Amino acid sequence: MQPYLEEYFGLECEHCIRMQEMSKRLEQVEGVTIARFEVWHNKENMARVEQLDKENNCGGLPFFINTKTGQTLCGEVSYNDLVNWSKV
């Protein structure tokens, strides 16, 4: 089954590194799977996040999208925000 939670990040992005620690914790605690896409070194992933972000106007990383609910998160957020985002 394809994960419905997606995380877009840049390898050297400090905000992304901090959020990835939380998103990995979310996977362990909540039992969800998050598909991760590096965008700074992958043109296809960059094009994908740009397309997804057109309606949200985030313009930055990290960028999270719940493809079942359409809910997005932009930048660093709290762990509670991440948990709420992951819910269907």
Digit-coded pLDDT (tens) for 30-86 = 999 999 999 999 999 999 999 988 877 888 999 999 999 999 999 999 999 999 999
Per-domain boundaries in the chain: 13-86
List the structure tokens of 2: 């394809």
DSSP codes, 8-41 = EE-TT-HHHHHHHHHHHHHHHHH---EEEEE-TT
Residue 1 is predicted with a pLDDT of 62
b (16+ CB within 10 A) / e for 8-19: bbbeebeebeeb
Residue 12 is predicted with a pLDDT of 96
Q: Is 2 a residue whose pLDDT tops 80? A: no
72-74 and 34-38 strand pairing: unpaired
Query: Which is higher by pLDDT, 78 or 88?
Result: 78
